[in-house]
Amino acid sequence: MNFIAQSGISLLLFLTCAFALGQSGPRKDSVVIKPTYQAASLSEDPVVDGEILNDPVWQGIPAIEDLIQLRPNYGEAVSEKTSIRVAVSQGTFYVAVVCYDSDPENIVVSDSRRDADLNDEDSFLFIIDTYNDNQNGFLFGTNAQGMEYDAQINNEGKGNFNANRQQGGVIGGTNINWDATWKVSTQIGDYGWSAEFAIPLRSLRFAAGTNRTWGMNFRRNISKNTETAFWTSLPLGFDMKRLSLAGKLTGLNLQNPGNLKLIPYVLGQVVNDQAVSPSETDTNFEFGADIKYSITPSLTLDLTYNTDFAQVEVDDQQVNLDRFNLFFPEKRAFFLENAGQFGVGSPGEVDLFFSRRIGLGTDGSIVPIIGGARVSGKVGQTNVGLLSMFTEDVAEAGIEENNFTVARVNHNFPGSRSSLGGIFTSRAGLGALEDNYNRVYAIDGKWGIGNKAEVTGFIAKSTTPGVEENDHAFKILGNYNWDGWNLNAGYTEVGEGFNPEVGFLQRTAFRKPELLIFKAHRFKNARKMFEIRPHLSYRGYWNFDDELITSFLHVDNHWVWRSGFEIHTGINFTTERVLTPFNISRVTVPVGNYVNEELQLVLITNPNNAFSLSSRTFIGGYFNGNRITNSGTANYRLGDKFVSSLTFSHSDIKLDTGNVTAFVSGLRLAYSFTPRIFLQSLIQRNNVSNVTSVNARFGWLQNANTGLFVVLNIVRDDDLIDNLDNQVFTVKYTHRFDILN
């Protein structure tokens, strides 16, 4: 304990030095100036072909050209001229950009798949806060090849998420699986490259009226300089999702465009199961449909019947090396649309609503969804959401028919970053079992203290038959984030009887204090060195007998070079109290109190390169022994068509009771014929459960993630060659009919 305290004091001294160093580094006035721009009104819609320089429609509109660097030269003007114009016609929102480049032959295009990450190439993005509530918006982007990127932003993007829709899901405020109907065209020339966006107003959510104002910000990425520049000059540590700092787009005259879409699907499937004797082959045919109707421009009704998710990528395999629940993110598009509006709790730890509880059993098996409805959007400054879904019974798994209901309301207070809301979740069995239900009630809020600080929290209660006490949970968290400082302090408590059956708990019955002290210091004249980020974080979990179950003290510094190369050097001090023996693979961890230290090393190479690598290594004590864990991802791309990534996690654990070697690997391959036609595969191997799986998908998208999908899933158990457990071959076609347009 003395060693831990000494380390904490040492880091605080280091932070003090870093702050002193920061006084000589780049600092900007704390007042952020929000630029304004008046959108042009068009009587005729332009031809969307990527031609900007010679189009008289665009050349007659004033341009935005004063973008400011966030990286690498903080506060300086963008290094390459950039001209942006915005216009609105009766039914379409337009953005045109010319990205001048003095070296156009070296423009980097790394990925052409829809919604692929745009951070590591030459690209252009913009965000619009259509409600002008400083909290929520829509993000669009493209690269020089005209790929389509869109996302829905809630709560200024706060939350944990995986940025690539083809690889993961979402928790929190950035929903990459939101897909709108829109188009973009690009051109490349000796001047650089240009892009022309056309977004139908019916694809957005907004308040109709005259002379409306939206929040807006633009971002340009210039690969050769690892440069990012924005319209609004942002403090260190922020990005364009910080909508409370966005500029303003004025002069918008908006009418209700009307929106009614019918999205039917047909599906054929062949299932070959060789795990039974004799093997069985089944052929299935399914059909279903979704309906999307805009009750108002800001409030949408979604109906679904016989809901199917055959085209969704399978989960990443994980090995549980501890005794707490593993988290698998949601990937199904129906549940991810407007997901941020229903999010309450602490993402990945205490989620009061977790949509994977609907249509999936506790073992990951599929529970057929009969159908359901969702109303979501905004009424004035109040976000509203209502979801009701019905699932079938699965007799062999002992699951009866269920109704899942979620009601959510959250009011944003104008002119601030503050909000107050509540949520109700319910699971109700529809079969013969009595008292088969579970409910959760909660209120949550956020108090924004200027631009720099905020206090967030929630308090919840569950109702479960037979549980009468300690069925509560709450959290309060204070945060200060400005000029490279990020300070957090919080407390979470989950009662022994708290049971959110339509939610997720990483662990049950705990009291948890947490702390973060983080400082990013940007160097001015350090040659190749770009930034350092010393920080300290702590979290501890106590049970209700005042026993410390887990504690984790992390002392670290990130060393960042201008080339994009990073090294993170840290040390972790851990405590684990085991009250009940548990197994890691076939090795038992006995009852005991284990105090350990471990070294942590992270390496990240420049992601703008065709080959890049990130790795994480832990070396140190682990329960009553020690471990060496290496994990990471190696990425390789060939041109703008082929991308691949190899992920791996290898743990060599040696305990007094035995040894464990756990290895999980995954190989992703993707080839994009066009931004809307792709072939992808995910091959995974897990040596603990001895499972090898293959997921291969061909997609021919029409718009908004509809079109033709061909999917092959193979799972092999134990023997890599002879024992094929099952294979599923699926062909699915979905089509979107725009009834009112």
pLDDT exceeds cutoff 80 at 512? yes
pLDDT band at 116 (very low <50, low <70, confident <90, very high): confident
Identity of the residue numbered 404: F
Lookup result for tokens 């890691």? 584
User: CA distances (Å), 545 to each of 44, 474, 510, 576, in order?
Assistant: 71, 18, 10, 15
pLDDT of residue 719: 58
pLDDT of residue 648: 94
pLDDT band at 488 (very low <50, low <70, confident <90, very high): very high
- Stretch among 25-29, 78-82, 125-129, 412-416 having the lowest mean pLDDT: 25-29
Q: How many residues does the chain have?
A: 741
- What's the pLDDT tens digit per position in 136-175? 899 999 999 998 999 888 888 875 433 333 333 344 477 7
Q: Kindly state the percentage of the chain with pLDDT values over 70.
A: 92
**Does 516 reside within a domain?**
no
Report the C-alpha gap between 328 and 270 in whole angstroms. Answer: 26
* 359 φ/ψ sector (left φ>0, alpha ψ -120 to 50, else beta): left
Before 534, cis peptide (omega within 30)? no
CB 218 within 8 A of CB 230: yes
pLDDT exceeds cutoff 80 at 392? yes
Phi, psi of 34 (to 5 degrees): -95, 110
**Does 239 reside within a domain?**
yes
Identity of the residue numbered 629: T
- What's the pLDDT tens digit per position in 620-629? 999 999 999 9
**Does 221 reside within a domain?**
yes
Strands 36-38 vs 247-254: parallel, antiparallel or unpaired: parallel
pLDDT of residue 718: 66
Strands 68-71 vs 566-578: parallel, antiparallel or unpaired: unpaired
What value does the mean pLDDT of the chain take?
87
Rounded to an integer, the average pLDDT of 58-85 is 93
Phi, psi of 150 (to 5 degrees): -145, 150
**Does 532 reside within a domain?**
no
pLDDT exceeds cutoff 70 at 9? no
Residue 43's beta-bridge partner residues?
none
Rounded to an integer, the average pLDDT of 247-253 is 94
**Does 2 reside within a domain?**
no
**Does 555 reside within a domain?**
no
For residue 102, the domain's CATH number is: 2.60.40.1190
- What's the pLDDT tens digit per position in 514-540? 999 999 998 887 788 999 999 999 999
The one-character DSSP state at 277 is S
pLDDT of residue 129: 94
**Does 479 reside within a domain?**
no
Report the C-alpha gap between 544 and 436 in whole angstroms. Answer: 28
Q: DSSP for 76-142?
A: SBPSS-EEEEEEE-SSEEEEEEEEE-S-GGG------STT---TTSSEEEEEEETT-SSS-EEEEEE
Identity of the residue numbered 322: D
pLDDT of residue 309: 79
**Does 367 reside within a domain?**
no
Task: Give the structural domain span for 76.
Answer: 32-254
pLDDT band at 348 (very low <50, low <70, confident <90, very high): confident
Number of domains in the chain: 1
Rounded to an integer, the average pLDDT of 458-466 is 96
Tokens of 217: 């910000």
- What's the pLDDT tens digit per position in 566-611? 999 999 999 999 999 999 988 999 999 999 999 999 999 998 888 9
pLDDT of residue 212: 93
Tokens of 597: 């230290």
CB 329 within 8 A of CB 169: yes
